[in-house]
Amino acid sequence: MRTSQQLGARRCADFTESVIREMTRIAHEHEAINLAQGFPDFPMPAPMKEAASAAIHGDINQYAITWGAPTLRLAIAEKYRRFYELEVDPEREITVTCGATEAMAATFLALMDPGDEVIIFEPFYENYGPDAILASATPVFVPLEAPGWVLDPERLRAAFSPRTKAIVVNTPHNPTGRVFTREEIALIAELCIEHDVWAITDEIYEHIRYAGGHHLLTAVPGMRERTVTISGLSKTFSCTGWRLGYAIAPARLTGAIRKVHDFLTVGAPAPLQAAAAVGMAFDAEYYNRLALDYRARRDLMVTALADAGFKFTVPEGAYYILADFSALSGSDDATFAKWMTKEIGVATVPGSSFYQNGQGGRGLVRFAFCKQAETLRKAADRLAWMQVRA
């Protein structure tokens, strides 16, 4: 007989509670500054909040079209034309989802058959592995090595097999802060074409960059028909709670993504979609300001961590620093992260949560700096005690 512990399906038996949420809970218990979870502690743009209120009061409160309100899909298509000179058909190529998270899961479910392999760079954002397992696919990990986290062409080439169905490409990258170069993107494209493989991109940090351009895989010749471009509003408009994202894919795959999305969620929140269209129309000034503000936060955090004795590569994009603490402590990452939360009052994510097996990331913790300068300065004051207490 099965016990209540065994009632869950086998496919999710190995899923653990998100370490990030666990660290957030511990941070609450100890009144620590939460630099674990990647959500901003500052407000989202006022015009979007006003548009959301207006939409609710204007009775846009029933189901939107499953694959996204026409105004939002049009606004997304126009933004891609304006920023990337990419023509996207809002009728046949865009699916609006509940966050990039759902876009990724729906794409995996729409694309993968049992036995298919999907290449994922390691360290990785923690959802990709479970997404692969939920879709009965097998993740194949390719390491990005510290300190530079650059892509090793030979290891990548060796990861492709006759079973490879897709590769996940996240740039700017969480947790390392890497922004893949034009050459790295070109190599990935070359291998996808050579092996007839799909690219599934996660471009959620596309506008948070300090160095390098944002190179779209889908814009590389030959890639348009084999790329799913995923992004969303959470990071660009500081509204992680709105749960709005999207997948741009060739029409032949969009049909399948839309069907999966319909059965998973029916659709994303209608009034927020109306407000999202307002944000999508913001001009370059908004994005430049966003990047400049993040640069100031990054610089503050870089100084605080270097002064405290951490070693790391300065991020080129996204809002994380993956830092080596081995000069400060011989503990493993989970022990060190819990100690730092309780004794220093700053919560981080243990590095091993970004690796498939426990050994990777043992000497690393990830700091999120998507916080107000005041929060970061407070964290810096606390981190100044590191060397005394460690």
Ligand X SMILES: Cc1ncc(COP(=O)(O)O)c(C=O)c1O
User: Applying CB under 6 A, which residues contact ligand X?
Assistant: 38, 99-101, 125, 170, 174, 202, 204, 232, 234, 240, 245
Residue 232 or 360: the one with the smaller Cβ distance to ligand X is 232
Q: How far is the CB of 215 from ligand X (least distance, A)?
A: 17
Q: How far is the CB of 128 from ligand X (least distance, A)?
A: 9
Q: Which residues contact 57 (CB under 8 A, 6 or more apart)?
A: none
Q: How far is the CB of 232 from ligand X (least distance, A)?
A: 3
List the structure tokens of 117: 């392999």
Residue 122 or 202: the one with the smaller Cβ distance to ligand X is 202
Residue 294 or 386: the one with the smaller Cβ distance to ligand X is 294
Q: How far is the CB of 79 from ligand X (least distance, A)?
A: 16
Q: How far is the CB of 239 from ligand X (least distance, A)?
A: 9
Q: How far is the CB of 38 from ligand X (least distance, A)?
A: 4
Q: What is the DSSP letter of 7?
A: -
Contact 173, 208 (CB under 8 A): no
Q: Which residue's CB comes closest to ligand X?
A: 99
Q: How far is the CB of 124 from ligand X (least distance, A)?
A: 9
Residue 103 or 346: the one with the smaller Cβ distance to ligand X is 103
Residue 90 or 99: the one with the smaller Cβ distance to ligand X is 99
Residue 101 or 348: the one with the smaller Cβ distance to ligand X is 101
- Picking from 232, 5, 223, 198, the residue whose alpha carbon sits closest to that of residue 107 is 198
Residue 232 or 361: the one with the smaller Cβ distance to ligand X is 232
Contact 244, 276 (CB under 8 A): yes
* Residue the block writes with tokens 């028909």: 225
Whole-number Cα distances in Å, 323 to 310, 316, 365? 6, 14, 5
Rounded to whole angstroms, how far apart are CA atoms 187 and 193?
10
State the greatest distance between any 2 C-alpha atoms of the chain, in Å, as a whole number: 62
Query: Can you name the residues that pair with 232 across neighbouring β-strands?
Result: 245
Q: How many CB atoms lie within 10 A of CB 387?
A: 12
Count the alpha carbons within 13 Å of 318 in the hemisphere toward its beta carbon. 24
